[in-house]
Amino acid sequence: MEKKQYTYPKQEKLKSRNTIDRMFTEGKSVGKYPLRLVYVPLENADEGMIKMGVSVSKKHFKKAVDRNYFKRILRETYRLNKHLLTDKLSKPTAFMFFYQTKDRLTYEEIHTKTVQLFEKFIAQEEL
């Protein structure tokens, strides 16, 4: 049995401005309140199977310390559940993971929603 990699290495981080711009113009999205996952296929397969970025709205959290806290939680819930995505992906994909509410959900609530969101994405992509 293969050991799951609960990591979020540097090469998995979404940094490409072009990819991020493409995500907002032609990307598809799936939501599970208060989280949203926007995704777009990657052109360069040599970059790895998955690229992930996280975002928390400045509109909802004015203080950077609050935004950083929720970004940390999003990265952690992604790290622990990314096997749900990587096991099902057939082509390289870039994701952007958004926290879209001013409500301060607990870590457990966000973790549960992340799992539901990833499962919803998998179901949507298999159509």
Prediction pTM value: 0.90
What is the DSSP annotation of 113-127?
HHHHHHHHHHHHHT-
| CA–CA gap between residue 62 and residue 69 (Å, rounded) | 12
Residue 29 has phi, psi (to 5 degrees) of: -140, 155
pLDDT tens over the chain, length 127 residues? 455 678 888 888 999 899 999 999 999 999 999 999 999 988 876 667 899 999 999 999 999 999 999 999 999 999 999 999 888 888 889 999 999 999 999 999 999 999 999 999 999 877 5
Domains annotated for the chain, with CATH where assigned, are: 10-125 (3.30.230.10)
Closest by Cα among 48, 46, 28, 50 to 37: 28
Count of CB atoms situated within 10 Å of the CB of 118: 24
